[in-house]
Amino acid sequence: MVRSSPLVATIAVAAMSLTGACADPLSPPDAGVADAGSLDTGVADAETPDAEAQDAEAQDAGTLDTGPSDAGTPDSGPADSGAPLINIPGPVLGVYPAQGPNWNDYVVNDGPTLLTGSDTACTGTEASDHTGCLHAGELRAVDIPGRTSCSGLSLEDALGVFEWRCDDSNGTARALSTGFAPGRRLSDLIDLQAAPPVWRANQVLVSDGVASGASPLARWWSNPVEVAHQGGSLSVAGTIYVATSTPAAAFSIDADGVGLVVQVGLPSQVTAADRRFIWVEGDMQGGSSALHFSAVIFSTLRGVRAQQAQGSGLLLEGSSHNRLINIDSVANGAHGISLVQGRGNLLSGIRVSRNSRSGLHLSGARHSSIFDVTASNNGGTGLSVTLGNGTRATNVLATGNASVGIGFYQSSRSTLFNAVAAHSASGANLHLARGSNHTLMNIVATNGGSSGVRFGQDFASEASSLNHIINAAVVHNRDRGLLLLYSSRNLFTGRLEVGDNNGVNCWVGLGTNPGLADQTCDSAADLSTEVTLQNAFAGLVQVDDPVNGSDVMGYAASAAFEDLTRFAYPTRAWVRDAPPPFPGPGHTGRCSGGCRIADFATSAADTGIAGTPALRGVLADPDDPDPVPDGDDFAYQLWAVSNADDCALIPGAEWQPQVCTAPGITTEQACQQARETWSVGLCGSAFLLHAFERMHDGEGNENTLCESNETCIFTPNIGRDQGLGALVDAGPFTPGTLSGIRLLRYAQQR
């Protein structure tokens, strides 16, 4: 049931008084002060019917608790006609009105913040990552005259489509949209039932708890909207094409600035080559790849579901600076999603399951930001990164994959934060080989058919060295817990938890100063042995998942069930059904019939270390009894570039920072004593421990690391789960080497 919004309830009559909404010829049925929870767009949510349960932005970026207003859920109930009014004459324009008035307009990100650039159009040749050019179509603004301060103001739009913030830096309060609200997308802005489809009218709603007002009801973009039921060439630049009724179609995007909305349930295929500034959403099915991009740049895939392709569900070759948000790719003949070459792409809210090869596969794709991934029951590796230097992966669950859970091969200087790798059938849960200088933080590797964590392979040339491991639980694996071959000069800090690994907890050999002692597991980390995780997770689900369409009391008897990726919580996935305990040996391997939903959220019953928690709530300030880290609780990550110009292309990076080539060393004297190199030809970033960047908030550089002058989320747990619900202040942040950080935490732990 949709909750009502007191903000819209008090504004409804005011809006009509200011805009004439009752008789506005622009307004299709229910296009005014609408019930955003029941918008009839004809296009269902490809990620999940319950956006708050599954959507990457809702769960991982979080919803900041700003008070009583419930943005995004307008109320159609009665209004208080006596409420005072806030005059908002409008109109609502683009934040970048000169070069960004329409959908698929992109502007150069050259300002001190994402919303304060110079209003310069992008050409598509900009060298950066996905934030080098901003999708200006999502960025709207309107002044609130007579208000000099944002204090006490609540903002939303009548359709409940966008996230909003208020800015009063120029002396007048101004409402600014920063992007889509969780679960929303382009199809929510178009009336797909109209003939022909048209942009839906919208308005900004403002309240201070007493007075309220609304901008004029209007359509905010002028791109033409065209029906393309039969597929074919989409060749008119700037046009938004929609397909809602044909049973099958193949689309070729043959112009820049094109948008395509395909209704859920239509088995379409989409191709594009040498294009820029395009937008695609909807269902894709079949073909050699359901979606194939070649040399596509600065474009967006949002709310795409790809399935049953002969090859990879989504294949992006030589494509850079793109955003892939809320993507499901299942039951394809090769990889779920494959990125070959290219650089600087963002992948957020990714669900890949039961693909014949790897779930998410990166080969030669460098400096990718990967955020909120579930890779389950794939025929190869869950998350596979090959020749992918500088990859940043945060909030990852890889379970039940036939080979390795998470693998980095021939890749150097990457990060993996907040990850669970479990139930891999034949390979290590987490495997690093032929690459160096990785940082792993808050990692769980459990119940694998082989080793829990493996550095290196069979030969010295395949070693992985100079890695920094911060907080790891490696427990219940069938072979060795941690296996280090030819691995040298690693650093283990924070917590290291091992136990019940059938071979031995730590097997270390053939390296120099590996950072971990053979057999005993001694290192610079705080060591706990005889650890169990069999009560550390929420575990096997014995009731109906309210979102998943295939389970009966958490169970599915046949391998042919269809709902592989939608769950009430992002910490859930299908596993092999077996009796407790969980995790247990019966759950290892791919689920291929007789499957049960498992929940990898941390449990309040976690007593895995001699009656105290192993995962839940075990992380705080590394040096002080304070509940959160401070500005001197940081580490450095080096990036795989060799000159200042290339370093400048990596968001948040600094050329020749005060950093050592060896992990964990932060002073020149200690670096020299270790006979390492200090700040010569190095590119690095300083990031806060036990935190990650709040994504999709219109702030920061969207690289998932928590750096100075960003809003970040505190991570109290080891593993994928860091809480849920509203975001609240985590406590005062004390600046140090890092400064200007606002640290939030989730209000709830399940």
Same domain, 349 and 256: yes
For residues 228 and 210, state if they share a domain. Answer: no
Q: Which residue has the higher pLDDT, 25 or 616?
A: 616
In this structure, is residue 384 part of a structural domain? no
Overall average pLDDT of the 121-149 stretch: 94
484 falls within a domain: no
Cis peptide leading into residue 267 (ω within 30°): no
The number of distinct structural domains making up the chain is: 4
Q: 48 and 172 share a domain?
A: yes
Mean pLDDT lowest among 115-129, 566-580, 618-632, 735-749: 618-632
CA atoms within 13 Å, Cβ hemisphere of 46: 32
Residue 460 in domain: no
Indicate if 669 and 574 belong to the same structural domain: no
Residue 498 in 3-state DSSP? strand
Domain extent, residue 671, equals 634-748
Same domain for 18 and 60, yes or no, is yes
Q: Are residues 145 and 288 in the same domain?
A: no
pLDDT of residue 247: 67
Q: Among all chains, which residue has been given the structure tokens 């928590």?
A: 706
Q: Give the domain-ending residue among 314, 343, 375.
A: 375
Binning pLDDT at 50, 70 and 90, where does residue 622 land?
Answer: low
Instruction: Find out whether 719 and 444 touch, Cβ atoms under 8 Å.
Output: yes
In a domain, 66, yes or no: yes
Q: Do 37 and 179 fall within a single domain?
A: yes
Instruction: Tell me the per-residue pLDDT of 13-44, one tens digit each, with 9 for 90 and over.
Output: 333 333 333 223 333 333 322 333 332 333 33
Secondary structure (DSSP) of 208-224: -SS-EEEPPPB------
Domain membership of residue 20 (yes or no) is: yes
The answer to whether residues 561 and 705 belong to one domain is no
C-alpha Rg value of the chain to the nearest Å = 25
Is position 268 within any domain? Answer: yes
C-alpha 423, offset from chain centre: 23
Please report whether residue 564 resides in a domain.
Answer: yes
pLDDT tens column, 293-347: 999 999 999 999 999 999 999 999 999 999 999 999 999 999 999 999 999 999 9
Answer whether 359's CB lies under 8 Å from 381's CB.
Answer: yes
As a whole number of angstroms, the distance between CA 360 and CA 348 comes to 12
Q: Tell me, what's the pLDDT at 96? A: 97
Amino acid at 124: G
The whole model's pTM is what?
0.90
Considering the domain architecture, whether residues 13 and 76 belong to the same structural domain is answered as yes
Does the residue 340 lie in any domain? yes
* Co-location of 194 and 253 in the same domain: no
- My answer on whether 19 and 165 are in the same domain is yes
Residue 249: pLDDT band by 50, 70, 90 thresholds?
A: confident
Domain end position, chosen among 341, 375, 409 = 375
Q: Which residues contact 614 (CB under 8 A, 6 or more apart)?
A: 473, 475, 497, 528, 531, 532, 533, 536, 606, 608, 718
Q: Are residues 182 and 63 in the same domain?
A: yes
- pLDDT tens for each residue of 475-513: 999 999 999 999 999 999 999 999 999 979 999 999 999
Element (DSSP H or E) covering residue 668: helix 668-673
**CATH code, domain with 291:** 2.160.20.10
